[in-house]
Structure 1
Amino acid sequence: MQRDELTAWLRLMSTPGVGNQSARRLLAAFGLPQQIFEQSLGTLRSCVSGAQAQALLEEPANLWRMVDQTVRWLEAPSGNPNMPVRTICTLGDPDYPPHLLATDDPPLLLYVEGARQLLQNGGLAAASGQCLAMVGSRNPTPQGKGNAREFAKALRESGLTIVSGLALGIDAAAHEGALAADAQPSTAATIAVVGTGLDCVYPRAHQDLATRIALSGMLVSEYPLGTPPLAANFPKRNRIISGLSQGTLVVEAAVASGSLITARLASERGREVFAIPGSIHAPQSRGCHALLRQGAKLVESAQDVLEELQMPREPLEKSRTAPPATSTSKAKPKTPPIAMQQLDIVSSGLEHLSDQQHELLGALGFDPMGLDALVARTGWDAATLQVQLLQLELDGHVARLPGGRYQRLASG
């Protein structure tokens, strides 16, 4: 893209009072942005309001700073073959992803950073391939994170590109699973649609994950460089996650969840919505159960998704998913992965429990689990676990099941 063309696109998207809908109306009437800014006030008023027309004739105060910043960002990796490619895709680009273009509010412009071999050989649309959105809770259960990772890995190995939002919890697990897949690199392993400028990784803890995604997948944003993590931007970016994808799989979600926004947008566009059922006692399962009551497809294996999307059938053993395999080998002690506040396990009747017992309930989740799996998940020795489990059982928070398994009860 030439500098003057880039300048016109950036000017259009940053003109005060001119949103996506008005900008698309202007593009339909006059063509490329350069041609919009050649029109008279009267001509522009035939398409937009008087205030919008006047704003279009005045350069935004920060336009040239934005242009210089964007040019520097685009040029930064150009001489290094080991770095990802950076590019901008506009509504006027023939390589704009067709599934996203078919939505009712496609972004005017997408900032893209991704694998060099993908973007240079095929462009954004080709590199995206066939996409499935995977979304869910930022505070998932251990089972939810494991399911997200294993589903994403199996679905990627069957040819799908996994799209998510780089958030904590299910999003990160889905990206990780896709990156771990053994798949042909002809399409992006995973696409992270973010709610910030691409020069800002949020959350910061995902800097390494974002770097790995850019090397074998893509990072995508509609927000200008320098845009910080503003709360209003994250629900808005969900339309891009669902828009890029043929379907949306919700792994875990509370009833009031941004993941359900993504699922609703997918449903409104006539695209498939899938949900994984969970324990009736887990708050993180209630959003999925609500979706199932509304007609979402119940998913128990990756093959269920592939069949609905009419993807080529893979051997069932390869696509069948289960919680990650556990090991009986001794693990180094570590903090259980789910903090007690994340699972909301502190409630009426639980205040008397020790911090260690709260942590154990969080690691146990809501599904039956054996002692070996708990050893692997917590890093605690078996003797310590048995003492704590016995006390929780006596207090009525855990039940011992046949086969040496334990399950957290509703009261816990």
Structure 2
Amino acid sequence: MTGAGGAEQGVPPGEAAALSQEEAFARIRLLRSPNIGPITYRQLLGRFGEARAALGALPDLAGRAGRPYEAASEHRVQAEIAATRKAGARYLFHDSPDYPQLLAHSDGAPPILTYRGDLAVLGRPAVAIVGARNASAGAVRLARDFAHGLAEAGFTVVSGLARGIDGAAHAGALAGGSTIGVIASGIDIAYPPEHADLQARVASEGLLLAEQPPGTEPLARHFPTRNRIIAGLATGTLVVEAAPKSGSLITARLAGEMGREVMAVPGSPLDPRSRGCNQLIRDGAVLVQSVEDVIELLSGFDGIPGSRMTASLQEAQSQWQDEDRPLVAPPEICVADLLTSAPVAVDELIRQSGAGAPSVQMALLELEIGGRLQRHAGGRVSLS
């Protein structure tokens, strides 16, 4: 990347060569500013055209929600860029030609990722393999064998570098081909610590991705967002062994909501670690028992999953999109008055407010920047 200020700001270039150093620096600063998430970030870029202009507009937008506002400091961003460079990592922006297309089309895709490794693996078909951290010995071996076979067949195996099934999937994939590790911490932190060597191998022989800034510890709230990246990168997600209400099931259901294939290996009903997989199969995931089953499902994938987990959700979304909506915009306060602490779909706000979608989205944007709005999965929002 070239542009004024590049020598001072020193953004590790990544692959977005057309992006100036100034704009890259401003984008990082915008995303690290208070109350700016992936959706708000994209809406601001869409409205103002560039991050520098959006940064200048933040105080006024927050002021409309009745709150003072201060963007992330330049010093903080400079420190982050230095830490990224020290870790041997680079930035990948959402409009880079190397940004994975499947992930780009998923809800709330991360606008900026940091990475170590070979971006070429993003161009291959991908399958996510996830499961229990306290997995049984048999499930660990099964995950390793599945990953090895799928990697040999030309698939990139995606997982989260956690203990148990994740670690086995990465190890099997490295022995047979390529893998992508998505971590819930900064790119410079290995978690769990015993996977430090495995994480280093993934970064050197495959690709390591992180959404959080360098130095960020893997907090509990970061794992669901990490899971959405895993699901978004892959054509299908395979759950090998998982308990009910586990993070692996969250990943699988996110994949279903994205219209991707969801697969599960059945297990004994007597083993609590298998109940999550059996539940997924009951709810419509495809039962698979061999590498060939997965290859058959994903090689012929045409955008219509064989799993039936989200048919009703997809039909409902289609109906929302087909309906005409009034274009008269009411005052912003009407949108705020419709919100409570209980999450509600944005489409429902549009219907109830009688406003056009752009007006409602702008009102929500101002509320979020002002710290009064919280976004939830499935396109829902609530008051903070």
Please give the TM-score of this superposition, normalised by the length of structure 2: 0.69
Instruction: Tell me which residue corresponds to 1:101.
Output: 104
Among the aligned pairs, what percent are the same residue? 45
Residue 155 (structure 1) aligned with residue 150 (structure 2): yes
The one-letter code of the counterpart of 2:94 is L
CA distance in 1, matches of 2:67, 2:259: 35
Instruction: Tell me which residue corresponds to 2:337.
Output: none
The superposition leaves residues 323-363 of structure 1 with CA deviations (integer Å, 9 ceiling, x where unpaired) of xxxxxxxxxxxxxxxxxxxxxxxxxxxxxxxxxxxxxxxxx
> What pairs with 1:3-402 in structure 2 (closer than 5 Å)?
3=9, 4-39=22-57, 45=61, 50-51=64-65, 55=69, 58-61=70-73, 63-74=74-85, 77=88, 86-114=89-117, 118-119=118-119, 122=120, 127-181=122-176, 183=177, 189-310=178-299
CA distance in 2, matches of 1:296, 1:227: 34
The superposition leaves residues 71-99 of structure 1 with CA deviations (integer Å, 9 ceiling, x where unpaired) of 3532664xxxxxxxx22111232321110
Gaps of 5+ in 1: 78-85, 184-188, 313-412
8 A Cα contact 2:182 2:208, kept in partner: yes
CA distance in 2, matches of 1:274, 1:76: 35
User: How far is 1:246 from its partner?
Assistant: 0.4
CA distance in 1, matches of 2:127, 2:63: 39
CA distance in 2, matches of 1:71, 1:136: 35
8 A Cα contact 1:149 1:177, kept in partner: yes
User: How far is 1:7 from its partner?
Assistant: 2.1
Larger Rg: 1
CA distance in 1, matches of 2:204, 2:236: 25
The one-letter code of the counterpart of 1:113 is R
Structure 1 residues 54 and 93: CA distance shift in structure 2, 3 A? farther
Structure 1 residues 253 and 11: CA distance shift in structure 2, 3 A? same
8 A Cα contact 1:128 1:161, kept in partner: no
Structure 1 residues 68 and 292: CA distance shift in structure 2, 3 A? same
3-state secondary structure, aligned to 1:273 = strand
The one-letter code of the counterpart of 1:213 is V
Structure 1 residues 261 and 177: CA distance shift in structure 2, 3 A? same
CA distance in 2, matches of 1:217, 1:146: 21
The one-letter code of the counterpart of 2:205 is S
Structure 1 residues 15 and 94: CA distance shift in structure 2, 3 A? same
The superposition leaves residues 107-159 of structure 1 with CA deviations (integer Å, 9 ceiling, x where unpaired) of 12101111xxx34xx4xxx6342110100000011110000000000000001
8 A Cα contact 1:152 1:177, kept in partner: yes
3-state secondary structure, aligned to 1:285 = helix
Structure 1 residues 31 and 203: CA distance shift in structure 2, 3 A? same
Structure 1 residues 218 and 40: CA distance shift in structure 2, 3 A? closer
The runs of 4+ residues in structure 1 deviating greater than 3 Å are: 38-42, 51-54
User: How far is 1:13 from its partner?
Assistant: 1.1
Count of aligned residue pairs for this structure pair: 283
8 A Cα contact 1:194 1:237, kept in partner: yes
Gaps of 5+ in 2: 10-21, 302-384
Instruction: Tell me which residue corresponds to 2:317.
Output: none
CA distance in 1, matches of 2:58, 2:23: 20
CA distance in 2, matches of 1:72, 1:104: 29
The superposition leaves residues 44-72 of structure 1 with CA deviations (integer Å, 9 ceiling, x where unpaired) of x3xx77359953xx3424x4233234235
8 A Cα contact 2:87 2:188, kept in partner: no
CA distance in 2, matches of 1:307, 1:104: 27
Instruction: Tell me which residue corresponds to 1:402.
Output: none
The one-letter code of the counterpart of 1:149 is R
User: How far is 1:37 from its partner?
Assistant: 2.6
User: How far is 1:195 from its partner?
Assistant: 0.4
8 A Cα contact 1:17 1:52, kept in partner: no
